[in-house]
Structures are given as structure tokens and as C-alpha cells.
A and B are shown apart, each in its own frame.
Chain A
Amino acid sequence: MKDEVTREERVDALGGMGCKRKRVEDARFTQGKGNYVDDIKLPGMLFGDFVRSPYAHARIKSIDASAALALDGVIAVLTADDLRPLGLHWMPTLAGDKQMVLADGKVLFQGQEVAYVVAKDRYIAADAVELVEVEYEDLPVLVDPFEAMKSDVVLREDLVGEDGSLPDGAHGPRKHHNHIFTWEAGEKEATKQVIDNADVVATETMYYHRTHPCPLETCGCVASMDKVNGKLTLWGTFQAPHAIRTVVSLISGIEEHNIRVISPDIGGGFGNKVGAYPGYVCSVVASIVTGVPVKWVEDRMENLMTTAFARDYWMTGKISATKDGKITGLDCHVTADHGGFDACADPTKFPAGFMNICTGSYDIPTAYLAVDGVYTNKAPGGVSYRCSFRVTEAVYFIERMIEVLAIELDMDAAELRRINFIRKDQFPYKAALGWEYDSGDYHTAWDKALKAVDYDGLRAEQAQRVEDFKAGKTRKLMGIGLTHFTEIVGAGPVKNCDILGLGMFDSCEIRIHPTGSAIARLGTISQGQGHATTFAQILATEIGLPADSITIEEGDTDTAPYGLGTYGSRSTPVAGAATAMAGRKIRAKAQMIAAYLLEVHDDDVEFDVDRFVVKGAPEKFKTMKEIAFAAYNQAIPGIEPGLEAVSYYDPPNMTYPFGAYVCVMDIDVDTGEVDIRRFYALDDCGTRINPMIIEGQVHGGLTEALAVALGQEIAYDDMGNVKTGTLMDFFLPTAWEVPNYETDHTVTPSPHHPIGAKGVGESPHVGGVPCFSNAVNDAFRAFGLRHTHMPHDHWRIWKTANQLGLHG
């Protein structure tokens, strides 16, 4: 039989890896038919709402819910006293600490959950919240981690022995009653020696301010206890539905098989929806108590004030180099403000996440890192806002230190980077702080980026601008921001990565239907990344069935295989690998079926796009569609019927995406306003599955980076009041403030990933923040500025200009 379709046409027909496949999710979203948690409506459903503390630190003297309970439509008001008999007034955090579900005698941050009202609708619930009388006795407030480490005020009495002793925390000995842990990596003494004896040392302290992921959809859930069958169904905005199921089982005592957790469509996550929050626990309890479904959805102020802050790292660095700029050592100390409870979402063995990637893209022979976690009267959280665990902090730190060193050396910062990059021939590269970088080609990416923007031309223009400014011809300075970042994503190998003891593998299960279409289920959950589109592309290439014939399903723990969810850019590195591996199992069985159908030995057929062909006789073949039917229709000796596979993938290493970014901005010295003239982003995420989606991820990540660098923060006053609790004060850029970005790429596949992919969703945020910040700092370099803290809003930039004497 003559095959009239060319091989190339057969490849195109699959819609597999590398093509700009349009998203299958978009039909429902563009028509308003997404199904988000607040869209769920069940018969008899009640609404939960919280009474929250107006104080940042206070003792609770009394709670009087009588007026609230007297209101028509109020079903219950839960307090810690109601949860105590169930052992649910506190819950474990992901970081090995515990957190109050409802205030147990005191509150530790403004907005803390004090009582949970259950009512017939959300209006009655809100009315009832106002009627709950809570008497507080205010206590001294600690909002500064350095003060907290010196203060006599004890924030967590539960962590101090009766004799005043300090029992060890989850991560070892504690130095002070407000101290949580010290975490170290690298060689302390050796690093000190190198720095003490170096030609040149640059020192800087930088504050990476507290901010918040702030997805457009807030956190929420619907808990529904079916008392007849003893089954609990919990819908919610969960980035890790299986982990939530296990946690709910452990703390509620309901057996895991009787709990079904469903993440429906999620309106953005960015790390906000990884953890377990008091709202979930209270809703589950309320549903168990009432026997009807209970919905809880936080409002924006509750979201910003209570669930999942990010960053809040004070970082002091010392970097040493030879006179000609070769870096010899790096020392980093972090004081990490974790708020009232340590609820950071990090793998168990990494209380400061992967901060030890802070040697960045550079070949730094000796380094030392120490992180001290501290309690304060701020909200708990410490999530990875669009980054792998604490990687934004690490990359910001090293990329600022490089700039400061360049000033110290009076060198061009691009050249300083170039002479210190890890060379291509050094990979796999063992970094001084422990990680083994899998692959990279930094020089190629860097040179491509600098050429694309005409770097030398930009520097010449900048020099002229400084002259013009000094001559009074302009009031605008020009900043050139550079960043070369190396990320560490795809957590991770079970040998060193777990959350609550759950290994951080991920999974995929595939069922091929008789007519040659398929469904694949994964342990991850999309929050906008387009998994239903891209994972089908991976499979199309692996198993030779069209992507359009493959349904991807995630987020239902009753049907999906166990997995640790979507955050830390782990979906493609881990679940994407599981998808490819499960696809290969399908293919292996298909090969045997094909050989049987073609009446040859298994080894005599080979896979070709969408079929198995007899080696050397391509006219003899069986398509995957034919093979799928045969799997259900023929009794093949020695082969079970059906065509299904499951893979649990334990990655051998992390992946290490990298990129080279350049930002060019003009800064109005008199108003502090910033005009981003150009932003060039080169990303190397290894093998590219869908270039359209990659580009979209880069645009989005850069915009969140712009927000963080130029204005977005969770700020507190001295009393612990949150000053940025609404979108009036918390900066989310609009289309008006955001530039068009230029995207570019190189491709350095991961050597250990089945398809060579590395993950990309977070790279632009990780690389973008230091790039914007470096541009602002760079604009003032000619006037003596070494470093100024983010966020660089108009007021702070104006202040910088003023302090440098630029206002005459």
C-alpha cells in the first residue's frame, strides 16, 4: 500500500512537541464557563466567614458570640474551645511548626483567625462576624526580626519550656525564644579565610521586601461531608490536591480513602495555594458538624493579610575577587522573617528552600551560607511566589552582589559576569554550596543577549546621557539592567526532597481507548499553565496519537495517580517526565502488538511518528490507532488485553533553567517615574514543548517581576498593622504600566530528563526582579549609588535621587 501522506505531514497531524498548539482550555474560559471553586453550588450549602484579629499581638480575654448566634440564619460560631476536643485548634505547618487554626488564647498577627461563623448565606455570615464580641489585651508588637532576636517579649510561649529552656525546633537548636532555626551550607572557615585574604571584597546588605503572590482568584474551598456514606469531598484552590488529602486525613482522622479532594479550575496560584489554611480546616469541621456542605472563600483583604506572604529576607553578602575580577569567595547571611508561625512551603530538609543556589551562574570556588529564621508579629507564609523555593531571593542576592562587585572593581558588570560564568565544559558542575548543575551554556546565551540589544551602543548612549544630565540638558537618567540567572527547579529527587514526609515524585496514568484516543491523568494541577494542552503534546510525540485525541485530567484525587502538585516549576520536570515515561510503556506494549499483527519478531519493528513499521520495509506498518484497537479486539498470546500504563517518576536531579535578561529604562529624576524602553529576555528551558505557551509564561513572569521590583509590597507599621491590604495600596500592574517584551531563546536540553525539558514558568520572575532592580540602581551608578532597596516605587526613586544631591 502506498502511503500518500508524507512523514512531515504525519508529524504535523500529531500536534506534538515543539508546535504552537492552541490551548484546549480556552473554549470554556473565553465563554465564561470555567468552573472555579466559588462557582460550586450545592443544595443546602452554608457559608463560613472569619472573625479576625485587629491586633498584631494580643491576649484574648473573652469571646462572646451570643448576639451573632441570635441572628436569624446563623448556624454556628466556632472558636478554639470548640476545636480543642477534636485536637484541631492547632494544625501542623509544612515547615514542621504548628499553627493555630483559631486563636488559642492569643493572636500573633493582624488578621489572624479568631472565630469561624457559619451561616445560611454570605451576607448573614458577614453580619454575624460584626456581632461577635472579642475582648483583647494588647501585647508588645515585634515587626522587626532583628529586634525580635533581642527582645524579652516571647511570641511563642508554646515553644518555651516551663523552666525557660528552649527545646530544639524542627530544624535543630534555637538561639533565642523568637528564633526558629539556623540553616547552613558550605564551608564557613574556608570562606572566611578566602575573603579575609582577598585582593578585593565587596560587602552589601539588601532587603528583599515582603510581598504576596496575589492570584486574581483568592483561596477558598467547599467541604461536603456525606454522613450516610462517611465520605468527605473537598473542593478547593489547591496547588497540591493529593498532599491536601493526606493532610486532611492525618489531622481529621478520616481515612484517606474516604476523602476526595478536587481542585477545579484555579484562577492563578503563584505559590499562594500550596499551603493548608485555617479556612480549610474550619470548613471541614463545620461540614462534619452540620452534615451539609460549607463554602469558604476569602476576600482580597483576607488574602493579602493572612494567606501566604513571600520573601521578607534581609541578606548580607561579602564577595571577594582578584584584582582582575575573578571571583574567589562568597559569604551570605540571611535573617528571614517568618511571621508568627513557620508555615513556609519548602521541602522538609530545606528550611530556607534552595537559597543555597545563591552562587548563581558563576564558578565560585568557596562559599558559605547561613540563614536564621525568626518569629515576628506578621502573617505566616513564606511561600515561593512564582519561583522554586527561595530561588528569587538567591538570584536577586547574587545578581546584586555582582553589580556591587563591579562597582568595587570599577569594571563593566557584563564583562565581570562573562569572566566568571561556569563554562560549558564544566557541566555537570558541582557548586560550592552543594548542588550539581545538570547543564548550561551561559557564554552563548550572554553573548547572544548583549548582541541583540547592542550592549556597547547602550553604554555609549548612557555615558552621553550622564554628560547631558550634568550639563543640564536632560532630567532623565538611563539605567541598563543586566541579569544572568540560574534557577533550580523540578523538586525533586525523593532521596532529599519531601514535604511532610511525602517524596516529591510525580505521576501519570494513561489509558488508550479502543478507537485510538486516550485519557491521561497526572498528579499535578494547572492554574493557568496550560497542562491540558502541553502534556497532550508530550504524549502525542511519545505515543503517536494526535494531541487532539488525548484528554488530560488533573486535580481529582479519586481518579488521578498520587503526585505532589504544581509549584516550583515542577510540573514539566517531574510530571512531564512521568508522562513521557508512561508513554514509553504504552509504546513498548504497542511494539509487541504491532509485531504480532505484522507477523515478525518484536525487534523487527520500529516506531515511526504514528506507527510501527517493519525495519527496512516501511510499507509494512500498523498505525497506533490500529494497534489500540487490536489491544482490545484480539487475543494475542502472552499479552494482556488493554493498553494502559502508569509511571511514578523520581527525578535523579533538579533541572537548572537559565537565562540572560537586559532591561533599558529612563528614570525621571524629579518625579521618580520609570519608563521601561526595552526588555529583552533570553530563556533556556531546555527542550521547548510549546513555544506559544513558553512566551506567554515569560510575559507573565516578567510582569510579576516588574510589580515586585517597582512597587509591590506587604508593608507593616510599627503596631503590626498591614498598610497594603487592598489593591489600592498593593501594586498590581495594569496594561498601562507594562511594556512589550522581546523574547528569545537558546536550547540546552537537560541531560537527565526523558525529553530534555527544564521548566519555564518561574524563570522570568526569578530573572526579572534583579534585572529591573539592577536597571534602577545602574541609572544612579555614575552618581555614586551602590545599592538601594526594592521596591523601587516613584517615591523611593525620588528619595534616592534626592539623597544623591540630584535635585540641586
Chain B
Amino acid sequence: MSKKMHIQMTVNGEEQEFLAEPRELLIHTLRERLNITGPHIGCETSHCGACTVTINGKSVKSCTMFVAQANGAEVTTIEGLGNPDSLHVLQEAFKEHHGLQCGFCTPGMITRASKLLEENPTPSEEEVRFGMAGNICRCTGYQNIVKSILAAAEELNSAKEAAQ
């Protein structure tokens, strides 16, 4: 087997350090090495987005990234977005607007949506649909996902306005 690499990364704010084969996929690092099982494996070819995480401020499909490529990176998964006492606005919105059914795409979907709303805090419906096109859902038909994201955007914006 190939030689192991020394890897260091920050995942959801926690420092992680370990030895790994460079070919190890980041999704396996997260799920099997670090027990962060929110991101899921749906296709292993970058099509479905169930494995979406945020790396250094960008949405990335972790099923097609080697852990070696993530060396030194800052990684955020669904587990880093909110916690049971204080859910992320998107987590609340998905619950409120029935934006999920089987739940398998949901962590990737919400993680991507959180980035989308940072990139574009006031998206139109069309922009949401385009911005989420890398994440596949087999259950909802997207209508309520789009609704959830638009509602979350509104919520975030009114909170921002109130703060100003």
C-alpha cells in the first residue's frame, strides 16, 4: 500500500491530525475516521451532492476529493451548522416547509444552501434552483426545498435588518 501522509485539518472548528493514505476520499475520512456521518454517499461521481461540505469557504463534493487535497483545510459539515439548542435558520426552514422526506440528501442540501445564501443573500427562485442544481433529491420534487431556502433567506435578511 501507498505510504501514509500526515494530514492536518480543522473540521467543524476542531483540529484533527492523523496519518492517511493519500488516496483516501475525504467523505470516508469524515464518515469513517472522524465519525461525522451527516454527509452521505449517493453516487461517488460528484453528481448527487449528498456528500456536500464546505471547504475553505466553498461548496465541495467530498466524495471526489482526496484527503490529501484537503490537507490544511477548514471543513464544515452539517454537524457544524447548528446544534440541537440552536438550529441554523435553514434547518428550521426545512422542517417548517417540509423540505425533506427520506433525509438522505438533506445534510448536503442544507450545507450547500448555507453557502448559496452567503454567496447571494437575496436570491430569486430561479437563482435558488440554479444554485442548488448540484444537489439531487429523489423525494421532494424540490418545490418545498426551494420554498425552505427562500424562507430562510427572508428570515436571515429580516434578522440582519433588525440588527442594523
Contact = CB atoms under 8 A, between A and B. Distances in A.
Interface of A: 22-23, 25-34, 36, 38-39, 41, 72, 122-123, 214-218, 265-268, 270, 297, 299-300, 527-530, 692-693, 695-696, 699-704, 726-728, 732, 734-736, 738, 740-741
Contact of B138 (A26, A33, A215, A741): A215
B106 interface: yes
A693 B140 CA distance: 10
Interface in B41-76: 41-45, 47-48, 50
A569 to B, nearest CB: 15
A41 B42 CA distance: 18
From B31, B84, B137, name the one whose CB has the most chain A CB atoms within 10 angstroms: B137
Interface in B71-120: 77-79, 82-84, 87, 91, 94-96, 98, 100-107, 110
B45 A736 contact: no
A703 B142 contact: yes
Given A27-B95, A30-B100, A727-B47, A700 B37 contact: no
Contacts of A218: 42
B48 A216 contact: yes
Given A30-B91, A30-B100, A31-B38, A735 B142 contact: yes
A527 B24 CA distance: 30
B23 interface: yes
B79 A31 contact: yes
B141 A738 contact: yes
Contacts of B146: 735
Nearest to A32: B38
Q: Is the interface of B mostly helix, strand, loop or mixed?
A: loop
Given A41-B35, A270-B138, A31 B145 contact: no
A703 B137 CA distance: 10
Nearest to A703: B141
A123 B98 contact: no
B139 A32 contact: no
Sorted from nearest, which 4 A-B pairs have the closest CB atoms?
A32-B38, A29-B103, A528-B102, A267-B104
A700 B101 contact: yes
Given A32-B77, A693-B98, A267 B40 contact: yes
Nearest to B92: A30
From A30, A528, A701, A741, name the one whose CB has the most chain B CB atoms within 10 angstroms: A30
B78 to A, nearest CB: 4
B5 interface: no
B144 interface: yes
Given A699-B142, A735-B145, 6 more contacts: A29-B103, A36-B40, A216-B50, A726-B47, A734-B134, A736-B130
B101 A528 contact: yes
A700 B38 contact: no
B140 to A, nearest CB: 5
Contacts of B106: 29-30, 32, 34
B95 A26 contact: yes
B42 A216 contact: yes
Contacts of A741: 141, 143
Contacts of A267: 40, 42, 102-104
A528 B138 CA distance: 10
B24 to A, nearest CB: 7
6 contacts: A30-B100, A30-B106, A528-B139, A696-B140, A699-B141, A726-B45
A31 B129 CA distance: 22
A571 to B, nearest CB: 14
Contact of B139 (A297, A692, A700, A727): A700
A529 B36 CA distance: 25
Nearest to B91: A30
B145 A30 contact: no
Contacts of A270: 138
Interface in B119-161: 128-130, 132-146
A265 B103 CA distance: 9
A385 B93 CA distance: 30
A702 B110 contact: no
A240 to B, nearest CB: 17
Given A30-B91, A732-B138, A217 B40 contact: yes
A738 B107 contact: no
A184 to B, nearest CB: 36
B140 A300 contact: no
A378 B164 CA distance: 63
B144 A696 contact: yes
Contact of B140 (A28, A31, A700): A700
Given A217-B104, A734-B133, A30 B95 contact: yes
B32 interface: yes
A700 B138 contact: yes
Contacts of A31: 38, 78-79, 82-84, 87, 91
A744 B138 CA distance: 22
Contact of A123 (B21, B45, B48): B21
A299 B44 contact: yes
Contacts of A22: 95-96, 98
Nearest to A698: B141
A732 B136 contact: yes
Contact of A23 (B32, B98, B141, B142): B98
A218 B43 CA distance: 9
Contacts of B140: 696, 699-700, 703
B96 to A, nearest CB: 7
B111 to A, nearest CB: 9
A313 to B, nearest CB: 23
Given A216-B136, A736-B133, A36 B96 contact: no
Given A31-B79, A735-B132, A728 B45 contact: yes
Given A32-B79, A738-B141, A530 B101 contact: yes
A30 B111 CA distance: 10
A22 B43 CA distance: 30
Given A299-B44, A736-B129, A527 B102 contact: yes
Given A36-B104, A741-B141, A735 B45 contact: no
A131 B115 CA distance: 42
A352 B100 CA distance: 33
A735 B83 CA distance: 27
Contacts of A34: 103-104, 106
B44 to A, nearest CB: 6
B77 to A, nearest CB: 7
Contacts of A699: 140-144
B42 A300 contact: yes
Contacts of B45: 300, 726-728
Contacts of B79: 31-32
A268 B48 contact: no
Given A30-B94, A31-B38, A736-B133, A216 B138 contact: yes
Contact of B48 (A41, A701, A727, A736): A727
Nearest to A696: B98
A36 B51 CA distance: 14
A22 B92 CA distance: 11
Contacts of A33: 38
Given A27-B95, A31-B78, A38 B40 contact: yes
A704 B37 contact: no
A268 B138 contact: yes
B129 A735 contact: yes
B100 A216 contact: no
B24 A728 contact: no
Nearest to A121: B32
B91 A700 contact: no
B84 A216 contact: no
Nearest to B132: A735
Contacts of B134: 734
Contacts of A528: 101-103, 139
Nearest to A304: B43
Contacts of A726: 43, 45, 47
Contacts of A529: 101
A190 B41 CA distance: 55
A265 B38 CA distance: 13
Nearest to B94: A30
Contact of B107 (A27, A32, A695, A702): A32
